Every structure is written in structure tokens, then in C-alpha cells.
Copies of this chain bind each other. A is one copy, B any other.
Amino acid sequence: MSLSAYLDDVRGLVLDEIQALVPTGRFRPVLYDLMLDYPMRESKMLRPALCIAACAGLGGRIESVLRTAAVLELYHNAFLVHDDIEDGSELRRGKPTLHRAHGIPVAINVGDAMLALALRPLLDNMKELGLGTAIQVMEHVARMAKESAEGQALELAWVRDNDWTHDDNAYLHMVWKKTGWYTFMTPVLIGATVAGLDRRRAAHLRRFASLLGMGFQIQDDVLNLVGDADAYGKEIAGDLHEGKHTLILVHALKRCSAADRARAVEILGLPREQKTDADVAWLLDLTHVTGAIDSAAEVARTAALSAARILAEATYLPASAHRGFLEALVEYVVVRDR
């Protein structure tokens, strides 16, 4: 089964579950339809897919983890709604962002409601999973909340202060917290918990997820600068326009001259609309001539290969379409269109 076929299957299941989670009735038009807006748009649903793959791959029932997988997707979409306000984005998945369509007050409230309402289905888990497992799942969500809030806070402080003094380790630690826990480790850990995997093996599988996440994020940033716009679906070098903190820029700024570094930091600190195309072209050139794109891609590749090695050790995870999905994700990072 191909990566996209697996993701499509998950998407169908998760969309049904999300719709079942959301109340019907008179608050539909003012609140719940808006909560459903982003999830119903085209998306990969990577987090629920990881959650389901880990659970089902370990012998758990898909139905038993589906509600939590849907909660993770709702959570994620809540943050997307708020991120779009924070970034002043106009479009999300090809349509106007929620705050463009309904105003910032409504969009902030919809995101808050999605976060706050996640508690209900996590409590309902108790009936089907039993108390112990349902509580462990909530513990995972609480850990995810803490790690990703801290990672996001760190990155926002760098952006606010136009601070580019962090080295590789500081940058990777931020990604580990912000992306690693949120998108990779927590979904996999929840799947493992629902399937009843023991703690030692769950920690092993968490290392796989952590390395896969690292590789995935860095590769994503590489593709933003070198990818074919059609294949990737976003504007080329959008990250440079935005001034996003990436391993590529950390590498480029470490290697360039002091004068170039000063100029780069000055450009990166400009608001998006004040960066000229020439500024961005110059930054893009800097990432090429310093070899930063290649070296960052190499870090992504190394992380993915380490993830592959750990997955190869995971004999507790028998061959199946679910394990195949995890293997295909690793492969995707290693060989993705470059």
C-alpha cells in the first residue's frame, strides 16, 4: 500500500470520527461548522495516521484509537487557526484563512473552543479503553501540550527578538519540542499505549518517532528552498520571505562572513512585506553558496537513517500495512523529490 493510499484511508476514518465528535443543533452555524472548516479541507492527517499505524501495527484495534486520533487532528487544526492569525496568512489549503473569512475575534474563539473541547472525548475514552489506559492517553496529551508550548514559545521569542544566536543543538532542541512531540512522538506513544505496548518498547518506538520527526521537519525546510513549486505545493523560498528559523539558516549564518551575516540578520528581521524579492534571492543564494542546504539535508538524511535502524530493531512490530506505512515515511524523508 502506498503512502498516499494509507493516508487517504486514515483521512476517511478520521473525518467521520471528527464529525461524530462535534455536536449538532443550534450552535452548529456559529461554532461547530467553523471548527469543522479546516479539518474538512484537503490535508495529509499525518498525526492521526501515525497514531493509527502505531496502534494497529502493534495489534490494537483501530476503533479503539480512532477517537483520540481525531482529537489530535482537532488540536492540530486549532493551532493552525491560531498560527494563521499569528502569521497574518491569507490562505490555508487553497481557501481563505478562518480569520479572513470571519474576523480575528471569531477565529481566536474557534481555536480556543477546539482546544477546550478536546477534554470531552478524552474523558469519554474511559468507557471504552478503561480508566488506566484513558488516563495514560491524557498524560501523553498533557506532556505534548507542555513540550509544544515551550518549543513554540522559544521560537516566537527568537522571531520577536530577531535572535539568530542559537547553534545546531539549540535549534534541534526547539524542533524536538515543538514538532517532535506534537507531530510524531505523542501520536506514536498514544497508539502504543492503546495497543498495550510495554514502557521499555514504547520508549524505543518513541526514539524512532523523534528521529523521524527531526528528519521530516528539516527535509521540509530544505524542500521549501529547492523543491519544484508544483510538486511541493507552496511558493519557493516562502520560509525566507517569512524569516522562519531553520537549520539551513543556522548553518548558513555560521559559515558566511561577518558582513554577510549582519546583512542576512537585518533582512530576516524585516516584516514579510518589507523584504524585497532581491533580498530573498540574496538570502537564497547565501544558503546555496555556504553549502547550508546540502548540510541540512544531510542532517535530515542521517536522522531518517537512524530512525530506519531503530525501526529495523523493532521486532515487536510485525510486518503489516501499518508497519509498511511507518517504513514508507522514513523512505519518503530519505528520497523525497529534491
Kindly state whether residue A159 has any CB partner on chain B within 8 Å: yes
- Once the chains bind, are A149 and B117 in contact (CB under 8 Å)? yes
- Once the chains bind, are B85 and A108 in contact (CB under 8 Å)? yes
List the B residue with the shortest CB-CB distance to A119.
B142
Kindly state whether residue A79 has any CB partner on chain B within 8 Å: yes
* Other-chain residue from B27, B135, B145 in contact with A153 (beta carbon distance below 8 A): B27
Could you tell me the distance in whole angstroms from the C-beta of A73 to the nearest C-beta in chain B? 16
Q: How far is the CA of A141 from the CA of B123 in the complex (A)?
A: 11
- Once the chains bind, are B102 and A153 in contact (CB under 8 Å)? no
- Once the chains bind, are A116 and B115 in contact (CB under 8 Å)? yes
Chain A residues touching B, majority SS: helix
Could you tell me the distance in whole angstroms from the C-beta of A135 to the nearest C-beta in chain B? 7
Kindly state whether residue A328 has any CB partner on chain B within 8 Å: no
- Once the chains bind, are A149 and B79 in contact (CB under 8 Å)? no
- Once the chains bind, are A106 and B160 in contact (CB under 8 Å)? yes
Kindly state whether residue A329 has any CB partner on chain B within 8 Å: no
- Of residues 217 to 251 in A, which have CB atoms within 8 Å of B's CB atoms? none
Kindly state whether residue A263 has any CB partner on chain B within 8 Å: no
Could you tell me the distance in whole angstroms from the C-beta of A64 to the nearest C-beta in chain B? 19
Q: How far is the CA of A157 from the CA of B113 in the complex (A)?
A: 14
List the B residue with the shortest CB-CB distance to A111.
B112
Interface 0/1 of A67-107, CB less than 8 Å to B = 00000000000110010011100000000000000111110
Could you tell me the distance in whole angstroms from the C-beta of A151 to the nearest C-beta in chain B? 9
In the assembly, how many copies of this chain are there?
2
Kindly state whether residue A200 has any CB partner on chain B within 8 Å: no
Known A-B contacts A82-B108, A149-B113; A120 and B103 likewise in contact (beta carbons under 8 Å) = no
- Once the chains bind, are A27 and B154 in contact (CB under 8 Å)? yes
Could you tell me the distance in whole angstroms from the C-beta of A105 to the nearest C-beta in chain B? 4
Kindly state whether residue A1 has any CB partner on chain B within 8 Å: no
- Once the chains bind, are A109 and B86 in contact (CB under 8 Å)? yes
Chain B residue numbers with a CB within 8 Å of A78 are 112
Kindly state whether residue A126 has any CB partner on chain B within 8 Å: yes
- Once the chains bind, are A138 and B123 in contact (CB under 8 Å)? yes
Kindly state whether residue A258 has any CB partner on chain B within 8 Å: no
Chain B residue numbers with a CB within 8 Å of A82 are 108-109, 112
Kindly state whether residue A156 has any CB partner on chain B within 8 Å: yes
- Once the chains bind, are B117 and A145 in contact (CB under 8 Å)? yes
Q: How far is the CA of A131 from the CA of B30 in the complex (A)?
A: 35
Could you tell me the distance in whole angstroms from the C-beta of A269 to the nearest C-beta in chain B? 13
* Other-chain residue from B31, B153, B156 in contact with A149 (beta carbon distance below 8 A): B31
Q: How far is the CA of A76 from the CA of B78 in the complex (A)?
A: 19
Kindly state whether residue A295 has any CB partner on chain B within 8 Å: no
Q: Which of A109, A111, A145 is packed against the most chain B CB atoms within 10 Å?
A: A109
Kindly state whether residue A146 has any CB partner on chain B within 8 Å: yes
Chain B residue numbers with a CB within 8 Å of A117 are 142, 145-146, 149
A-B residue pairs in contact (CB < 8 Å), sample of 5: A23-B146, A30-B150, A79-B112, A82-B108, A86-B109
Besides A109-B153, A117-B149, A120-B146, 12 more A-B contacts (Cβ < 8 Å) are A31-B149, A31-B154, A86-B108, A87-B105, A105-B156, A106-B160, A115-B115, A116-B148, A116-B149, A117-B142, A123-B138, A123-B142
